[in-house]
Amino acid sequence: MSKEAIIRVQNVSFSYQMNQEQAIPVLHGVSFEVYSGEYLAIIGHNGSGKSTISKHLNGILTPSEGDVWVHGINTREKARIHEIRSRVGMVFQHPDNQIVATIVEDDVAFGLENIGVAPAEMKERVDFALEAVGMSAFRHRPPHHLSGGQKQRVAIAGILAMKPQCLVMDEATSMLDSYGRQEILGVVRKLHRQGMTIVTVTHHMSEVAEADRVLVMEGGQIVMEGTPREVFAHQERLQELHLDVPDASRIAHLVHRQHPAFSSSLIHNHEIVEEVKRLHIRTAEASGS
């Protein structure tokens, strides 16, 4: 992974302006960078500002103070907002509320029509995007005949067609059942392997375990940062923040308390299995000798 930052968030504060006098502060001096090709997860409980910060990444919101730079373009530059948004695509929470057209392929083309791509190239890009999310067979279907996971895949295709470098998912799996969630995670995993930068805002800890890096937000600030393994090691601190850890991590901690030989820093299900096997072999060897 190269350490080239494609998004730089510098000291960003933001308040929602309710009316003339009243403003609700949401973010307080948040700074971080998103590096090219990384898989970044942002977690935090409701109202921690995680969704608000994600909406700053492609200029849907502009900071009250501080700056966000996408590829060296400040998101305040309204004239270049198309450039920013075709580089950083965003998938939202509700599968139904982000599909514009009456059939799948038209919806995928919507963004391309907006940025004025020539029709011949558009066809190519739509084919590519539908193929990438495995929805080619559904191209002529109306969206209401699709499942939640399929709708989200169409939404991702709509973003992919614009050939972004970074995909931001704002709780994109939270409205889906576990099957739909697996569909989306499969697609995201594949895109990440192909070099796409992924930023995911989520409260599903099993998704977080797959990320390269985690930011934990609380009260509009970043309070923890590190690899998933580092972050999930602080189980008590996370509990104070009303955050969960992956099941694997919780089990590892419980077993670790009883049997110190069992590693506590496990975050994936398969690691538990391996750890059990490892200890089993060791005890077998010990009793055998």
Partner 1 sequence: MSAEFELTRNITIGQYLPTGSVIHRLDPRYKVTAFVIMILAIAVCNTYLGNLFALAVCLVMFRLSHIPLHYGISGVKPAVPFIIILAIMQLLFYGEIARGGTIYFQYGFVTISSEVIRLVVVSAMRFVEVIFLSSVLTLSTSTTELTHGMERLLGPLEKVKFPVHAFALIITIAIRFVPTFAMEMEKMMKAQASRGADFGTGEWWRIVKRTKDMFPIIIPLFNVALSRAEDLILAMEARCYTPGAARTRYAHYRATPKDFAAVGICMILAIVMLIIPW
- The yes or no reply on residue 72 touching partner 1 (CB under 8 A) is no
- The yes or no reply on residue 103 touching partner 1 (CB under 8 A) is yes
Among 101, 223, 251, 279, binds partner 1 (CB under 8 A): 101
Cβ nearer to partner 1, comparing 28 with 123: 123
- The yes or no reply on residue 241 touching partner 1 (CB under 8 A) is no
Among 37, 49, 149, 158, binds partner 1 (CB under 8 A): 158
Residue listed under structure tokens 């005949």: 145
> Using CA of residue 200, residue 201, residue 207, residue 212, what is the dihedral sign?
positive
Among 89, 180, 228, 246, binds partner 1 (CB under 8 A): 89
Q: How far apart are CA 99 and CA 83, in angstroms?
A: 22
Single out the residue of 126, 128, 124, 119 nearest to residue 104, CA to CA.
126
- The yes or no reply on residue 113 touching partner 1 (CB under 8 A) is yes
3-state helix/strand/coil string of 43-110:
ECCCCCCHHHHHHHCCCCCCCCEEEEEECCEECCCHHHHHHHHHHEEEECCCHHHHCCCCCHHHHHHH
Number of residues that bind partner 1 (CB under 8 A): 43
Q: How far apart are CA 244 and CA 5, in angstroms?
A: 29
Among 33, 67, 106, 247, binds partner 1 (CB under 8 A): 106
- The yes or no reply on residue 63 touching partner 1 (CB under 8 A) is no
Number of residues assigned to the chain: 289
The torsion defined by the Cα of 188, 192, 195 and 201, in degrees rounded to 10, comes to 80
Among 7, 117, 133, 231, binds partner 1 (CB under 8 A): 117
Helices (DSSP H) in 140-223: which residue ranges? Answer: 148-160, 178-193, 205-208
Cβ nearer to partner 1, comparing 139 with 234: 139
Cβ nearer to partner 1, comparing 79 with 286: 79
Among 155, 214, 222, 231, binds partner 1 (CB under 8 A): 155
Q: How far is the CB of 137 from partner 1 (least distance, A)?
A: 16
- The yes or no reply on residue 122 touching partner 1 (CB under 8 A) is yes
Cβ nearer to partner 1, comparing 57 with 231: 57
Q: How far apart are CA 156 and CA 70, in angstroms?
A: 20
The 23-35 sheet, strands edge to edge: 23-35, 5-17, 65-70, 73-74
Tokens representing 273 are 């299995």
Q: How far is the CB of 6 from partner 1 (least distance, A)?
A: 17
Q: How far is the CB of 90 from partner 1 (least distance, A)?
A: 4
By CB neighbour count within 10 A (0-12 exposed, 13-18 middle, 19+ buried), where does 186 fall?
middle
- The yes or no reply on residue 18 touching partner 1 (CB under 8 A) is no
- The yes or no reply on residue 99 touching partner 1 (CB under 8 A) is yes
Cα angle: 200, vertex 202, 206; to 5 degrees = 100
Cβ nearer to partner 1, comparing 150 with 206: 150
- Under the rule (CB under 8 A), what is the footprint of partner 1? 55, 58, 60, 81-82, 85-86, 89-90, 92-94, 96-103, 105-106, 109-119, 122-123, 126, 142-144, 155, 158-159, 162
